[in-house]
Amino acid sequence: MSSQLQSRSIEAQSFGRLNARVALIVGGGAGIGEATARIFTREGARVCVGDINYLAAKSIADSIVASGGEAIAIEVDVRSDTSVKQLVSQTIERFGALHILFNSAGGSLPQDAPVTDVDLSVWDCTMSLDLLGTILCCRHAIPQIIANGGGAVVNMSSGAALRGSGKAHIYASAKGAIVSLTQALAGTYAKDNVRTNAICSGRINTERIRQSYGIPGHPGKSIDAMRVDDLIKDYPFWFGEPEDIAHIALFLASDESRMITGASIPADGGRSAY
């Protein structure tokens, strides 16, 4: 792994920002979702880790419990209305409430391409996972959040939604739609004390990105670890850690961001600005 990436760390501190809250982390089995589940628990939340990979989700939930937190794991396919409905109902059954939804499930396909070239099968797969999955989770979670007096929804978008330089047109479309969906949800449910925001993340040190960028031990299709180091020298925030995004999600889920709703926060190391 890149030497500069290895040297970065975030000191763990707990301030009880989410005490007495129940959080549903969708896509919590790895990467940003995993980091968020751990940080939310550290801040006092009881957490449901939902993921299509049940064994991964259970490993994380078990680790949280072993560390003194409260967590459960539930298998979910966010493309299925029935599966998402069961995820939310089982979370309520276990914890008795729901206050926070973090939509982290998603991804892109290597076959994604400009609209003049892309195979249309990429559209169905990407939209189902990224956009429909977010919609279904909001569809079933928001009524429960309202029933418990309000709370927060945090959707994962992407820096790809904020710029026109990418060649993955279908992924950019899905993530751009999440920005618009976030605004619509914020406007509709503000009166119900539900805040909805999105995070437009950049390059984050997850397994998927490591494979894409050729960090040692993972076959890459683009640039190698030395190139990542060179880019960080010029743009020190260009490549982030899952915890970088999880801390933004924590802020948006907590009362510290009470005046923020309908926003899409660029967390892309400045790529959308320069």
pLDDT in tens, 206-252: 666 666 655 555 444 444 555 666 766 776 777 788 999 999 999 99
Regions of the chain short of the pLDDT cut 70: 1-12, 206-229, 231-232, 235
Residue 26, phi then psi, degrees to nearest 5: -95, 125
Whether 235 is catalytic is: no
Closest CA to 17 of 249, 194, 265: 249
| CA dihedral (152, 135, 203, 215) positive or negative | positive
- 19-202+242-266: CATH architecture: 3-Layer(aba) Sandwich (3.40)
* Per-residue confidence (pLDDT) for residue 119, from 0 to 100: 96
Both structure tokens of 92: 């309520």
Which residue among 54, 171, 235, 274 is the active-site one?
171
C-alpha–C-alpha distance, residues 96 and 70, integer Å? 13
* Per-residue confidence (pLDDT) for residue 202, from 0 to 100: 86
Both structure tokens of 255: 């009362």
| pLDDT single digits (tens) 106-130 | 999 999 999 999 999 999 999 999 9
Yes or no: say if 270 and 198 are a contact pair by the CB < 8 Å rule.
no
DSSP letter at 217 equals T
Both structure tokens of 88: 């939310």
Both structure tokens of 169: 């047109």
